[in-house]
Amino acid sequence: MKLIRQLVERQKYRHALFIFLAVLGMQTLFAQSLQEEKVTLNVQNQPLEKVIGTLTQQTGLKFFYSEITIAGKVVSLDFSNTAINTVLAAITRQTQLNFTRENNTITINTQAIASETTLQKGEARRVTGTVTDPNGEPIIGANVTANGTTHGVITDFNGKFALNVPENTLLMVSYIGYHSQEVAIGNRVTLQITLLESSLGLDEVVVVGYGTVRKRDLTGSVGSVSSDNVLAKGTSSVLGALQGSIPGVNITTASVRPGGGFDIEIRGQNSLQKGSPLYVVDGIVTNDIDFLNPSDIERIDILKDASSAAIYGSRGSNGVVIIQTKSAESVVIGAKTIVSYDGYYGVRAVSRIPEFMDGREWIDFRTTAYYTWNNGLGNFELSNANRDAVTLASPIIDQRLYEENYEDWLGQVTRTGRQQNHYLNVKGSEKNIAYNIGIGLQNEEGNFINEDFNRYNMKLSIEHKSSKYFRIGGSANLSYSTSNAGSQLGYRDAAIMPSILRARDADGNLIPQPGLNSVVQSPLGANFTGVANPLIEVASGKQETNRYDVMGNIYAQITPIEGLDIKTTLAPRFNKNRFGTYLGRVKGSNAAPRSDGIDYASTNNQETFDYTWDNQITYDIKWNQHHFNVMALNSFYNTRYEQTAIAALDFPYPADWYNIYSGKLVESDCSSAYHEASMISFAGRINYDYMGKYLATATVRYDGSSKLADKWKAFPSFSLAWRLSEEGFMKNATWLTNLKTRFSFGYSGNNNGVNPYGTMNTPVTSSKIFYDYNGEAISGFAPGSPVNSSLTWEKTRELNFGIDYGFFKGRVSGAIDLYDKLSDGLLMSRRLAVESGVESMIDNIGSVNNRGIELTLSTVNVNTKDWRWTTSFSFAHNVNAIKSLYGKKEDVIGEQRFIGKSIQSIYDYQILGVWTVADYETGKTVYYGKDGSAGYKGKPGEGITYDADGDGKLGPEDKVILGSSDPDWTGSFVTTLNYKGWDLSVDLYAKMGVFVYDEFLAQYGYNSQRGMQKVKMDYYAPPGVPTIDWDNFTVTDGKASVNWKTAEGHENAKYPLYKNNGGAYYGDNNAQSYANGHYQDASFAKIKNITLGYTFDKAISQKLKMSQLRLYANILNPFVFTEYIGWDPEYATTKLVDGNGPSNTTYQFGVNIKF
């Protein structure tokens, strides 16, 4: 008790302990609720179905049966406190039905007695069999009937059945979500029947937020991915498995680092402040899902349109990602315990390193830059002084150039990493308690040395189903991960260090600064570079992140009458992140805030605790051919955040960040913060369908936020759908399986851009705020940002029109969606008059529009006994456009915001090519004004800058919109081939029309530091420039013999001439267009996944004491098709120090086992 009390008193353990004790108490409650199965019953001529309901209520037992089996059966019973077995025996005598019990589940079948009325004419035969899915898993509750009779049974927990049938009859086998199948018995007495999944999946259950709906009854736009699809990808991230799976969901890898996250955008960017969708995991709202193990995923549903997301009101404007993990709710009481293991092991190899210049190419490049800058274009006479300036003069480098023996800097800081993932899951039941337990381990090694990621997961889910009137349950999801990012500066320096410089001296010792004069003896007349040796930097730097996640929920549900559910759920969540950085003492490293030879350390601790309390009432009622589902909700959400950061320099000894107080504090890097916010919500939804053909949904949510002055806002929506394929006038269209039109309209909101205290008058303090108090300067407070009492939600209005279709019994199916979203009241910083005393305040003064189309197409090309070949295709096109800024329809050029253009527009000078000597000599380089007067005259090697305003001059007025980093379209294509137990799938993903400011070219193209490595690019080289004659280059006794020749030059180049002092050459104008050398088309198509698997025959797996055994091998990212120059087109906008680097290809071997 003393230990518990101490833990409670420590704030950082309180929340985790609360969740743990709640789950422990819940288990105790479950254990106490077990009781004997005795019943009391007194009925006369009552339908058997009602009697079964009474038995379920009194015992909690689950009954499985076909409606045909018990149709018309009535019984009379009189028992008091009698064992259930005695009661069932009495029912058997009156109905001729069999009751088979396995644990807490009872299966009802007809008795195996042949009769002329039931079996018709012919010899009766007892047939047994097993019904499974394509993976060999038993299908529980499948209907098996003799064709033309009412004689039928349902399969038990092992998928087995037994039935007496006439000779030469057909069996009809059916189950929800699968194609029905006719089976000819012939002379067989034992059958093995495999049902194929329906490609339409119309009976598939989709989660829509606080409820579920069959896919056939869906009126909004929802994309879904099952656990099988997630597992098949073999990826270490949930979002990585989703990439390309759902049209309109743009998922981009944020980092190539192990454990790196993803950015996700649903139907375009709705806000000027890039936002993320709302994540809901098992009903719990969370900021991200990086802590989840993909093997624990049961299902993912993405709510894309406002009608679907409106139930989440103010938090749904960026879309909603609903994730169901494996839980006890899906476990049937009485079902046998199932143990499953999913795991893989693989290696990730560096697959894409840009082609950098080798030593000789680099010297030629530098020589050209030197001459063109110092001598002017066209004046290349080789004086002795010029020869001396470019003579190599370093025996070490001369020898390396002669032997073409270069340092592979990147090769020394990269490696082939290993990765593995293991997940063990156990689910089953004991009496009235269902449980699901999962344990996961994931380990990844990065392609840079000293990089790795480890994650440990544990999941516990329990549900007590005492009767059909009451159930209680809960779950706890724990995750701990560590991420080591190594030395980002070291990796960067390895990429920019010229290959002619060596890492070690003759004795094998690392050279602290390989580019200094003392080492290389002044090649090209000056130091190469003073940058530190990357290998030393990598060994001395460390960046580590420790993350702790504890998430749980506790719920109770009562069903007082049939169709009415009352449920309450409490869902707390605790997250802690600790970031630590240490930069060791490295000579030549001057990365701020560390100076040359001084070490630096920082630590940042962040804690978040939030909880959601939902109270929900759902009533489902059918009346004639009308079906209503009504839901009412009250929700309360609270979040608290705390952060502390400390940094210091110059430590007496290296001890990472654990010795931080022994150094000199860096005040600018020290901070602390705390905030708290709450939200109260009321919501309601009505789903209605008539005859299964006419569907409607109406939703409204009313949210109140503590962040805002105008706290309350309603978010309504409605949607309609019409299943034309169910109409009588379509019955003759036998080729049509499904045709449904959908229309939705609704509102959702966003307030993520508002600080929790952004609408309050908060004072600020600093070391620069003083007041005169009796002639003495006293530090104090000053007013902070001005208060905007009218600040409210960003609000998104969306229209969606969709068509779901299916032809030829589901062989062809898909959907088409058109949408139009207008996000209004966007949060922006409004500039204020100088007289106000402050520069700006946040206000709702912007609007953005997104319009687009989404297509999906799935086909079953071949479907025979042994062969099955399917394909699926998705396409999405979105147009993003700013409609207003600061309440006006005017461009804000300083912020690169333009009315009618994308938020991600790129605004700069447009370079049309490169001027040549011939252009210069013929006068083509002269710019003319509209009046015909001559203006600026370009020079050879200079970029041809577009004169946008046509005045003959080049200046800021000539900048234009070059493009956008938003893709023109995204698409995916997946094809799967099955032959008996074999399966082969190929997954392709494409993103086209992506134009970016490329950080790679900014670092390794026109880099301003002359001693840095350069990537091979199509640079301009003037004719006549001197270059070394490498064919006659020799080194004798450590002295180089340098012969010169005149180069032909390279005028038909894509990129301008490079200047010796860095940057692209733009003549006297210098075009203010340095950045134009950094823009690229980053479009790409990737083969994301190739998987080959084999599922062993049931007979073999059972001999191994397994119910299923599948082995597979896959390759992730084997091919990339792109014209992009750089690391990887997906990371084009990210610097290497921020998570970029060489892309990788992963080779894996995995296994899926069930017992």
pLDDT tens digit sequence for 648-663: 988 887 777 888 888 8
Q: Is the pLDDT of residue 984 over 90?
A: yes
Say if 175 falls within a structural domain: yes
pLDDT tens string 1034-1060: 887 767 777 777 777 788 888 887 765
77 and 44 in a common domain: yes
183 and 43 in a common domain: yes
Last residue of a domain, one of 330, 354, 375: 330
Query: What mean pLDDT comes out for the span 18-36?
Result: 39
Torsion over CA: 371, 372, 378, 379 (sign): negative
Please give the pLDDT value at position 912: 86
pTM, to two decimals: 0.78
Here the tokens at position 265 are 């955008």
Please give the pLDDT value at position 26: 40
pLDDT tens string 714-744: 999 999 999 888 888 877 887 888 888 999 9
Torsion over CA: 273, 276, 278, 282 (sign): negative
237 and 179 in a common domain: no
Query: What mean pLDDT comes out for the span 601-622?
Result: 92
Between 407-411, 596-600, 716-720, 1061-1065, the lowest mean confidence (pLDDT) is in 1061-1065
Alpha-carbon Rg for the chain, nearest whole angstrom, is 35
Q: Is the pLDDT of residue 541 over 90?
A: no
Percent of the chain with pLDDT over 90: 19
Q: Is the pLDDT of residue 1010 over 70?
A: no
Which residues, 6+ apart, have CB-to-CB distance to 454 below 8 Å? 442, 443, 444, 481, 482, 483
Between 455-459, 736-740, 819-823, the lowest mean confidence (pLDDT) is in 736-740
Here the tokens at position 221 are 């736009």
15 and 59 in a common domain: no
CB atoms within 10 A of CB 1032: 11
CA geometry: angle 1080, 1086, 1091, nearest 5 deg: 165
42 and 178 in a common domain: yes
Say if 1067 falls within a structural domain: no
Please give the pLDDT value at position 851: 93
User: Given the DSSP bridges, would you call strands 926-928 and 934-937 parallel, antiparallel or unpaired?
Assistant: antiparallel
Say if 489 falls within a structural domain: no
Say if 275 falls within a structural domain: yes
DSSP state of 1137: G
Give the model's confidence band at 578: pLDDT under 50 very low, under 70 low, under 90 confident, else very high.
very high
Closest-CA residue to 1010 (of 496, 549, 609, 343): 496
Q: Is the pLDDT of residue 32 over 50?
A: no
Task: Report which of residues 479 and 1047 the model is more confident about.
Answer: 479
Last residue of a domain, one of 144, 174, 194: 194
Please give the pLDDT value at position 498: 83
Query: What mean pLDDT comes out for the span 1114-1128?
Result: 88
Q: What is the CATH number of the domain that holds 317?
A: 2.170.130.10
d(CA 782, CA 784): 6
Which DSSP string corresponds to 976-991?
EEEETTEEEEEEEEEE
Which residues, 6+ apart, have CB-to-CB distance to 607 below 8 Å? 12, 574, 575, 576, 641, 642, 643
Please give the pLDDT value at position 816: 92
pLDDT tens string 39-71: 888 888 888 888 887 887 777 777 777 666 777
Please give the pLDDT value at position 547: 94
pLDDT tens string 212-242: 777 666 777 787 777 777 776 667 777 777 7
266 and 210 in a common domain: yes
Domain total of the chain = 4
pLDDT tens string 491-531: 888 888 888 888 888 888 888 888 775 555 444 445 566 77
Give the model's confidence band at 577: pLDDT under 50 very low, under 70 low, under 90 confident, else very high.
very high
Which residues, 6+ apart, have CB-to-CB distance to 455 below 8 Å? 259, 291, 293, 440, 441, 442, 443, 479, 480, 481
d(CA 172, CA 186): 14
Q: Which residues partner with 824 through β-bridges?
A: 795, 847
Query: What mean pLDDT comes out for the span 114-123?
Result: 38
Domain limits for position 771: 755-787
Phi-psi map region of 660: left, alpha, beta (phi>0 left; psi -120 to 50 alpha): alpha
Please give the pLDDT value at position 1147: 94
Please give the pLDDT value at position 769: 64
47 and 189 in a common domain: yes
pLDDT tens string 243-262: 777 877 877 777 777 877 77
Q: Is the pLDDT of residue 20 over 50?
A: no
pLDDT tens string 377-392: 555 554 444 554 455 5
pLDDT tens string 92-110: 778 877 776 665 667 777 6
113 and 84 in a common domain: yes
Last residue of a domain, one of 330, 360, 391: 330
Say if 664 falls within a structural domain: no
CA 152 to chain centre: 46
Whole-number mean pLDDT of the chain? 79
d(CA 18, CA 8): 9
Q: Report the residue count for the chain.
A: 1155
Q: Is the pLDDT of residue 113 over 50?
A: no
d(CA 956, CA 978): 60
Q: Give the type of residue at 899.
A: I
User: Given the DSSP bridges, would you call strands 124-132 and 190-194 parallel, antiparallel or unpaired?
Assistant: parallel
Here the tokens at position 818 are 């058109």
325 and 222 in a common domain: yes
Q: Where are the beta strands (DSSP E) in 274-409?
A: 278-281, 284-286, 297-303, 320-325, 338-352
Please give the pLDDT value at position 528: 64
Here the tokens at position 833 are 């008059």
Q: Is the pLDDT of residue 534 over 50?
A: yes
140 and 213 in a common domain: no
Q: Is the pLDDT of residue 24 over 50?
A: no
**Cβ atoms of 279 and 289 closer than 8 Å:** yes
Alpha-carbon distances of 687 from 208, 211, 748, 855, rounded to whole Å = 11, 11, 19, 26
Give the model's confidence band at 344: pLDDT under 50 very low, under 70 low, under 90 confident, else very high.
very high
pLDDT tens string 679-713: 999 999 999 988 888 999 999 999 988 888 778 88
Q: What is the dihedral of CA 128, 131, 135, 139, to 10 degrees?
A: -130
Please give the pLDDT value at position 745: 92
Say if 1048 falls within a structural domain: no
d(CA 760, CA 707): 9
166 and 231 in a common domain: no
Which of helix, strand or coil describes residue 875? strand
Give the model's confidence band at 1018: pLDDT under 50 very low, under 70 low, under 90 confident, else very high.
confident
Query: What mean pLDDT comes out for the span 1003-1023?
Result: 72
Say if 145 falls within a structural domain: yes
121 and 47 in a common domain: yes
CA 510 to chain centre: 41
Q: Is the pLDDT of residue 347 over 70?
A: yes
Q: Is the pLDDT of residue 449 over 70?
A: yes
Q: What is the CATH number of the domain that holds 132?
A: 2.60.40.1120
Between 87-91, 180-184, 761-765, the lowest mean confidence (pLDDT) is in 761-765
Which of helix, strand or coil describes residue 431? coil
**Cβ atoms of 470 and 559 closer than 8 Å:** yes
- Per-residue three-class SS string for 629-651: EEEEEEEEEEEEEEEEEEEEECC
Say if 45 falls within a structural domain: yes
